[in-house]
Structure 1
Amino acid sequence: MTPATKQLIVFVKAPIPGQCKTRLSTLLGEHKTAEFYQTLVRHCFEQLHDINDINLAIYATPDTHHPFIQQLGKDYDTTLRTQQGNNLGERMFNAMHESLKHASQVVLIGTDCPVMNSNYIQRAFDALRQCDIVFGPADDGGYVLIGANRVQPELFETISWGYENVLAHSLRNCQAFAYHAHLLETLWDIDTPEDFQRYQNHLNQNTTAE
């Protein structure tokens, strides 16, 4: 059987109260926020079943020891690794660089975009047939997905992670180092109490539609 040449990386945080989705804790409290984060993670993984011919790897922070992370590895029969780096850019580069040692394409996602589905991820892989790097923009100026068939550290440098210019600066770096970039359609993710309300409205609309 030929090994898959496509790698999907999912970045996950251990659901430790006070250490995940911290901006939501003012609304939900630390423990409820950690529970909600687990719901987001589970929803994210449920979207991956329809993607064919990929290797799946979970990169966790601060490590892979939390029972929830261990259970994810068992449930999805996949590799668990610890994110390495001093900031988000370094962690993403290290994970993607390691994956590209054995895969020709790599896509990396987080778990806080409830409207991302398998079709969106598949189209990211498809785009990499004709470009070097692909982004799934977020409407807050960041991105919910990044994929590439080659990477270098400079792509992730001089970026203020967590601010509204993340995607713009990333595209600037791509241009500086001659990476052909492709953008998917813009989605939204959950970081703030306002985002949580948007999520609740999204659920209510889906329930009404059913």
Structure 2
Amino acid sequence: MKTDALLIFTRNPELGKVKTRLAKTIGDEKALIVYNDLLLHTRNETSALECDKFVFYDTMITDNDIWSEAIYQKKLQAGGDLGKRMQHAFETLFEMGYQNCIIIGSDLFDLKAAIIENAFKKIGDHDVVIGPAEDGGYYLLGLKASNTLIFQNKEWGTSTVFEATVRDLESYKICLLDRLNDIDTFDDLKRSSYDWAKLNRDRSVK
């Protein structure tokens, strides 16, 4: 067991249940294609990282998917809102003995392995590492101890999450990473590095 652990929160890729805001513009089938591409990107950027890696599924653990059991350990997210689910995931890994834990989602084509590696380096002399997202949330959170406060009383999924979290961390030494664009809407997709025009070229998309 290593001292560093990466937590990857994912949604099970089901038609009509992922990227619903994006689907309002491009439809459920294309939104599912985008989300599967996001999952692949996240796997490709994390698979070689020098840390233990955990995938937390939202509804059910899936065998024989893109997340190889040789590289990723698989767990199920707890119930409750996003804050409760993240808090439970952090507590689970700290109880397992990990010293530095970083959580990411699977919503960013702009997220690279080097960003995560840098976050693990920064947490060495900081209490918290946080990567703000352009929509007012955050795409990465690194802790080296459980912190229940930052997971409570947040309006998850809104533009207030990052600022509210930073307010809760006023007494902590924080490292802020670069602001990145996560994919929730079609405008987000167009601003990203994704070849979104491929959706119109893909014959499997009707």
Both proteins in one fold, TM over 0.5: yes
Decide whether the 8 Å contact of 2:110 with 2:193 is kept in 1: no
Give the corresponding residue for 2:115. 120
Q: Distance in 2 between matches of 1:200 and 1:97?
A: 34
Q: Distance in 1 between matches of 2:117 and 2:190?
A: 28
* 15 and 202 in structure 1: CA distance in 2 versus 1, 3 angstrom threshold: closer
Give the corresponding residue for 1:103. 98
Correspondence for 2:75 among 53, 77, 81: 81
Give the corresponding residue for 2:54. 57
Q: Distance in 2 between matches of 1:50 and 1:77?
A: 9
Q: Distance in 2 between matches of 1:59 and 1:160?
A: 21
Amino acid at match of 1:36: V
| 1:124-203 matched pairs, under 5 angstroms | 124-175=119-170, 178-199=171-192
RMSD: 1.8
Deviation at 1:202, TM superposition (A): 6.9
Give the corresponding residue for 2:20. 22
- The CA deviation string for residues 38-95 of structure 1, in whole angstroms up to 9 with x for no partner, is 111101111124422x100000111214xxx641333653211111131111111111
Stretches of structure 2 that go unaligned for 5 or more consecutive residues are 198-206
Q: Distance in 2 between matches of 1:93 and 1:125?
A: 19
Correspondence for 1:46 among 44, 53, 68: 44
Deviation at 1:137, TM superposition (A): 0.8
* 40 and 195 in structure 1: CA distance in 2 versus 1, 3 angstrom threshold: same
Decide whether the 8 Å contact of 2:10 with 2:106 is kept in 1: yes
Correspondence for 1:90 among 73, 84, 100: 84
Q: Secondary structure at the match of 2:149?
A: helix
Deviation at 1:106, TM superposition (A): 0.3
Deviation at 1:17, TM superposition (A): 1.1
Normalising by structure 1, what TM-score? 0.87
Structure having the higher helix fraction is 1
Decide whether the 8 Å contact of 2:43 with 2:67 is kept in 1: no
Q: Distance in 2 between matches of 1:49 and 1:73?
A: 9
Amino acid at match of 2:54: A
Amino acid at match of 1:34: L
Give the corresponding residue for 1:10. 8
Decide whether the 8 Å contact of 1:9 with 1:108 is kept in 2: yes
Normalising by structure 2, what TM-score? 0.88
Deviation at 1:179, TM superposition (A): 2.6
Q: Percent identity?
A: 27
Stretches of structure 1 that go unaligned for 5 or more consecutive residues are 205-210
Q: Distance in 2 between matches of 1:117 and 1:79?
A: 20
Decide whether the 8 Å contact of 2:130 with 2:142 is kept in 1: yes
Deviates most, 43-52 or 140-149: 43-52
Amino acid at match of 1:196: L
Deviation at 1:155, TM superposition (A): 1.5
- The CA deviation string for residues 91-147 of structure 1, in whole angstroms up to 9 with x for no partner, is 111111111122000011011111111110011111111111110111111111001
